[in-house]
Structure 1
């Protein structure tokens, strides 16, 4: 795209990109009457052109750092290799961005609003940030590779969040997230691999949370969570491995819980958290907390749909 085709805001973004500077068009950060406030739309094709073949200045490190813009058109970065950090903070996407099989340094979409996110096979050399995002459709991150963290506290998603076979070198943070996909999969993350922890403290999930085969180097936390999928599986943790599973102060789970063939050094949960339907065959653990008399723990085993399984009683 020729420079003459750019709007005043797009020209400023092009200039800032080459220097790694941020462009913030939010009213509280812009001077009244400035082009940034008067017109905050930027074409996705312009951003794509900058990321793939934008200007580079000697002695400067390019970066795309935008705040508060509206991105029109589809941001298509599928299969792209982008050596620059991308920060699109508090932005409005009119169309679903596509980062399928893309490779980026760092991707920060903090507080942005998207119709959906398509990024299966995405490679991120640093962190992937989805904190405070509002997504009105599915988030596709299956088979993604993130060398840092996935930071998604307070994420709001109105569709399936897919992390199937994703590999995260550090942590997945879903603290106080809201995942809404009733009678379907809210979080679909079988064979997820985490270097440290899954923090889902305060999570509100309407739909199934599927973590079958997940491996976490630290703990899996659902502290103060609300897991709700009546008539189906609310929490699937079959064949998982982690140092600790905690459901401390979580609301009573509405829906089935599956823990069979999982291994935890410790499980922290009050008996009232467990639903009427559980599956425990092959579950291995070393300790339970809080410490309670056996009589208060036995009802959980009686809810096992596989019937009397000697291993569970051992």
Structure 2
């Protein structure tokens, strides 16, 4: 137990100020002398033992009647390990521009508001802690990290299974644990939101697996400079978040993992930069089974690594020309509506045709064939009343599918495509029929056939005769009434009969497919 006589002058000043919550400021006022990066060189006049801080927070100097005790300290060099594991702390802790020699231990502690701003520390361990108020670490720098039996990786800030009734404020903070975990907060529950805006920088994975964040996660302008041990920059697997804002220059050099995340409102990547892992070994966004209402996939530039959205479900998808990289996994991805973020997109028929072509292009970027993304997009076009675009999408689906078939099936597919556009362009059959009718009429009109029964039947009509050859069902009376003695007209007649059967079969198959889909 510490006695007053053992305290150094700055410790006595802190001891006397604590009962009334007064601040002790050990800063010199000279910026060059107050840099926390040089805190290890601060002399005895600015040194405070961590044991003194712990003793005060645990009731070593009782509060004065009519005052609220609070530990407020600025510009101190804190020596030793601040160990408050399992403690019941009834007082707020405010530390500003302080330099810690060792990490802070709040494992399982129950505390009031904790403010450690503009300071430098190896790390903070607060697994399973309960904080009644805010955890404010703005402008602080944590580097080197620590390891414990509860974390497999070196960690700067550990909040696994912690509960914060206020907010977690990390704006302009810097976490430097390359190859480790900048933040390890699996199962974290924060009622007031997590704020990592401005100059927030993390070298190491920000890990929020299974976190409960009803107040949202805001990372506008944050810079996730290097990934963790598995190439992951930010992990929110199975997290429940009201709003996830990764916008306004948010940069991730590593994978964003959102597998199974549930976002009650808005997920925005507007103006973000998604670089993916530096080694190129993983996707820029890995979000299978993710759920969101608004999904703003409008980054500042095209992601440099694949996107995986298999099984994800969103109500409103916002996309633009920069949304889709060369490889996109979309099997099972569902959306209620698409909104293009490109300024000036035309809303007439031509504008929508351009949009359909653009959107089909990103469907084709899937590494394998899956019909669902095409059916999803076509269904949306039908919903908004653009049946022509829906048919374009379904035609693109058949062409994509054709590449996966065996050679005979591919050949038949090419024939269906050329003749009737797989049934989505039935007017092609009319063009073929008209072309062959004109060709046959010209050639047959230049020759004279012989009647089967001289003096009987109608006179020879080249156009009707050609149509009679092309139409395999029924008859117009010309084909059976005349025959050719020359080889050229006879072979043309045989060819027209064959083409008639092929054209009719393709037309029936294509139209049947269309009717079944619709």
Give the structure-1-normalised TM-score: 0.89
Go from structure 1 to structure 2 and tell me whether the alpha carbon gap of 1:254 and 1:97 turns closer, same or farther (over 3 Å shift).
Answer: same
Deviation, 1:59, is 1.4
Instruction: Name the residue aligned to 1:8.
Output: 9
Which of 194, 204, 223 is equivalent to 2:248? Answer: 223
Gaps of at least 5 residues in structure 1 are 30-35
**Equivalenced residues, count:** 300
Partner residue of 1:247? 269
Structure 1 residue 296: deviation in Å?
A: 3.3
Quick check: which one's helix share is greater?
Answer: 2
Which structure's residues are more often strand, by fraction? 1
Q: Find 1:85's aligned residue among 92, 106, 113.
A: 92
- For residue 158 of structure 2, the aligned residue among 128, 140, 148 is 140
How far apart are 1:294 and its partner, in Å? 4.0
- Of structures 1 and 2, the one with the larger relative CO (CA 8 A, separation 6+) is 1
- Residues 216 and 28 of structure 1: is their aligned pair in 2 closer, same or farther, counting only changes over 3 Å? same
What is the SS of the residue equivalent to 1:47?
helix
Whether 2:105 is the aligned partner of 1:98: answer yes
* Alignment of 1:111 onto 2:118: yes
Which residue, out of 194, 210, 228, partners 2:213? 194
Equivalent in 154, 160, 166 of residue 188 of structure 2: 166
Deviation at 1:28, TM superposition (A): 1.6
List runs of 5+ in structure 2 lacking aligned partners: 31-41, 146-154, 278-282, 320-338, 341-354, 377-518
Is 1:150 the counterpart of 2:168? The answer is yes
How far the C-alpha of 1:222 sits from its partner, in A, is 3.5
Q: Is structure 2 residue 90 aligned with structure 1 residue 74?
A: no
> Deviation per CA, 1:157-190, whole angstroms, max 9, x where unpaired?
0121111110000210011311012xxxx11110
Tell me which of 282, 287, 291 is aligned to 1:259: 287
What do residues 103-131 of structure 1 show as CA deviations (whole Å, max 9, x unaligned)? Answer: 11100011110011111111110000011
Q: 1:12-31: per-residue Cα shift (whole Å, max 9, x none)?
A: 101110111111111129xx
- Whether the 8 Å CA contact 2:246–2:272 is kept in 1: the answer is no
Q: 1:42 aligns with which of 48, 51, 54?
A: 48
Q: Give the 3 Å change call, closer, same or farther, for CA 10–140 of structure 1 in structure 2.
A: same
CA contact (8 A) 1:280 1:304 kept: no
Pick closer, same or farther for the CA change 1:301–1:105 going to 2, 3 Å. farther
The corresponding residue for 2:64 is: 57
Whether the aligned pair in 2 keeps the contact of 1:18 and 1:54 (CA below 8 Å) is no
Change (3 A) 1:276 1:94: closer
Distance 1:301 1:213, change over 3 A: farther
Q: Counterparts of 1:81 and 1:244 in 2: how far apart (Å)?
A: 37
